[in-house]
Structure formats: C-alpha cells, structure tokens
Amino acid sequence: MTKPFKIRDIEINPPLILSPMAGVTDVAFRCLLKRRGGIGLTVSEFISVEGLTRNNPKSWRQMRFHEYERPFAVQIFGAQPERMRMAAEMAQEAGADIVDINCGCPAPKVVKHGGGSGLLRDLPRLEAILREVRKGITIPLTIKIRAGYSDREINCVEVARLAEDCGVEHVALHGRTREQGYRGFANWDLVRQVKEAVKIPVSGSGDVTTIEGAFQRWRETGCDGILIGRGAMMNPWIFRQIEDALHGREPFQPTLEDKRAVLLEYFELLRDDMPEIAAINRMKQLAGHFTKGLPGGARFRTAIYHSHSVQEILDRIEEYFTAIAQGRPYMGEETTDTSDVPALTSCDALCEAV
Ligand SMILES: Cc1cc2nc3c(=O)[nH]c(=O)nc-3n(C[C@H](O)[C@H](O)[C@H](O)COP(=O)(O)O)c2cc1C
C-alpha cells in the first residue's frame, strides 16, 4: 500500500516528486505545477556550486522559491568538497528544507570536472563530498543518482549504501546509465534492488507518464516515492491525477479550458519572473509540450515559435483554443481528431541540452 513517507521529519505527501530539470523547473514552472496539486516535494534545477560560491547572480536566482512550494529541495552540483559544503550552507541559509546532491547529470561539461554522474566513477571523492556537506548543514541531505556510469559499471546499490553510511537521508535513482543519456528505458529493477539494500527512503525516476505506470512501479519495486519530470511537461495534472487515484477518487480530467488557462498562467508567471524577451523564448521552448497530444498541436507550436511579442503569443493561444473548441481546422491542420499521449522522445531536444 503506497503511503506518504518522511525524509527525517519532513513528510512527503503525496509521495510524488517533481523531478529536477535544468532549464525547465525554475520557480515559474514549479509554481505552475504546484498549483495543480499532487506534488509532495519540489526540487530546484541543478545549481552550480562554483557559481553559487562565487556569487554568480544566475546561481542565486535559481535558488529562489515560494513558501507554498514547501517542502523544497535545492539541488547542487560540483566536485570540490569544500565548495559543495559552502553551497549547501548557502542553500540552508536561503531557507531550503533539503539539500540534494546531483550525481546524475550526464553533460560533458559537468562530468569533465568530476561532477554530476562523474561522481559515480569516483567514490572516494563522492564520500568526501557527502561527509563534508553533512558536517556543514543541519537540514536533511539527499542524493539523486543514475544506475552507474556505463553498462559495465552499474554501481547504484554500492553508491546508495555509501550514501546511507555518510548520513544521506533519501536516495532518488534514475535507472539509466550516464552513457545511456536519455535513450532506451530506465531500469526500475535497480530501484527495487536499492530499496532492498538500504534503510533510508528510496524513490525512483524514469519514464512515468501515467497513473497506471506509477502504480506499477510502486508495486514492482516497493519504492517510497516516484519522481516525474518529462511527463509533467506534457501533463501538468499528472501528480494530481495520481494522488486522486491513491485516494480512490476519480482522477481529475482537465478540460480544454483548463489547458488554455494553464498556458496563459505559465506565460504570466514567466513574465513576472524574467525580462519579456526571456519569457517569450521560454514559451517558445516549452509551450509546445503542454499541447502535445492535442489536435492541431504541431501548427500551434510552429505559430508560437514564430511569435515575437507578448501580444502575438496571447493571440495565437486564443486563436488555437477557439479553433479546437469549435472543431475547426487550425491554420489548415485538422483539430477534430485526438491523438494519444506522445512518447517521451518528443522531449529529445531538451534532453540534449543537459
Ligand atoms: C531537460 C531535462 C533537464 C534535467 N535536469 C536535471 C537536473 O538538473 N538535475 C537532475 O537531477 N536531473 C535532471 N534531469 C533528469 C530528470 O530529473 C529525470 O531523472 C529524468 O528525466 C527521467 O525522468 P522522466 O522520464 O520522468 O523525465 C533532467 C532531465 C531533463 C529531460
């Protein structure tokens, strides 16, 4: 039976986590999702400890959050124990509930310096970091890892045991290797193995996009929590729907009006948070994901992509949703047929960026 779990005294209820995604899960996106309901823990994008400890304004901006996001974890990445500790102290000072260490990022620029998934290949360094950070903060310390560096170096069970020994209080496992990037599927049997190997709570990550998928993962692995990343970009209500199902309620079904409203709300949150041009660019990058699976969505994404002002974006959203509501073609593309939920590979361009 799936139930809320605790990271020390912090209740993760429901046991669902908005997975950190660099370039996506900034404060605007997290608020949008948190307002839809069903999220037990939000996590920042990964934040460079080099940037934070050298007062880079971007890194500081990435640490902002709203009170209603709590519990909120700040995820940091880096490779120098001392800098990691300083950054963790800053996160605690900024009010974070949890500090999370990124041991999964596959990006060459991160791994080259020994950070992200590079730490999975250098356990003495990882141990030094965990012990140093643990000394610096009083709030819970957690890690997010991958299965291992490559198929020949699957070591998540060993890493989880080491982490537990260093005082880490939650492990999140994305069951792909660093070499795999985002290809193929996450191996959830490894989540089961890690769960069986340690006493601290364990959550799994990778390819969950449906209520049934989440329930199956809980059943098969016995894990405590489930992280959802790309699935939340395509369906911001996924957490609420899973929570509904956990409570035996009929899962919430967003109407077309809800989908239109979520796009407008997101654009507003972005504009409140960043310069107009940056908000427009972020809309171009992400708005399309929210309409994946809607009829005529491809033309809509193209139309947003070619918009240059706030008003143009608002007009395109209005025109598109009016067309679907009336079952009219949008810019020549049929809007009457509905397609299935698209595959996660549709996020490939974003994945390549990290
Ligand atoms: C665009 C993008 C950015 C990501 N950035 C991070 C990150 O900053 N930190 C992290 O731990 N994982 C990051 N990930 C990995 C996700 O948190 C997650 O583990 C992975 O996408 C698998 O889960 P999903 O299939 O639910 O998306 C990122 C993934 C994507 C697609």
Give per-residue pLDDT as tens, 134-190. Answer: 999 999 999 999 999 999 999 999 999 999 999 999 999 999 999 999 999 999 999
**Which of 9-18, 127-136, 168-177, 340-349 is predicted with the least confidence, judged by mean pLDDT?**
340-349
Determine if ligand 1 sits within 6 Å of the CB of residue 48: no
Choice from 209, 346, 354 to test ligand 1 binding pocket (greatest atom count within 8 A of CB): 354
pLDDT of 330: 83
Is 54 marked as binding a ligand?
no
Residue 154 is classified by DSSP as B
pLDDT of 341: 46
Active site residue 347: no
Is 230 marked as binding a ligand?
yes
Which residue would you say has higher pLDDT here, 217 or 346?
A: 217
Annotate 179-244 with DSSP letters as a single string: TTTT-S---THHHHHHHHH-SS-EEEESS--SHHHHHHHHHHH--SEEEESHHHHH-TTHHHHHHH
What atom in ligand 1 is closest to the CA of residue 227?
A: 26
CA–CA distance, 193 with 157 (Å, rounded to integer): 7
CA–CA distance, 293 with 295 (Å, rounded to integer): 6
Q: Name the closest-CA residue to atom 2, ligand 1.
A: 21
Is 21 marked as binding a ligand?
yes
Catalytic residue among 103, 105, 156, 166: 105
Q: Name the closest-CA residue to atom 13, ligand 1.
A: 21
Residue 339 has pLDDT above 60, yes or no: no
Token pair belonging to 167: 């005082």
Strand 41-48, strand 10-12: pairing: unpaired
Domain boundaries, the chain: 5-246, 256-349
Which residue would you say has higher pLDDT here, 224 or 352?
A: 224
In CATH terms, the superfamily for domain 5-246 is Aldolase class I (3.20.20.70)
Which residue would you say has higher pLDDT here, 271 or 285?
A: 271
Report the 10 Å Cβ neighbour count for 150: 14
List the one residue out of 22, 195, 170 whose CA is nearest residue 106: 22
**Which of 147-151, 245-249, 342-346 is predicted with the least confidence, judged by mean pLDDT?**
342-346
Q: Which residues of 61-87 are buried (b: 16+ CB within 10 A; e: fewer)?
A: ebbebeeebebbbbbbbbbbbebbbbb
What is the per-residue pLDDT across 77-132, written as a single tens digit (0 to 9) for each? 999 999 999 999 999 999 999 999 999 999 999 999 999 999 999 999 999 999 99
What is the per-residue pLDDT across 276-331, written as a single tens digit (0 to 9) for each? 999 999 999 888 888 888 888 888 999 999 999 999 999 999 999 999 999 887 87
Choice from 21, 59, 178, 210 to test ligand 1 binding pocket (greatest atom count within 8 A of CB): 21
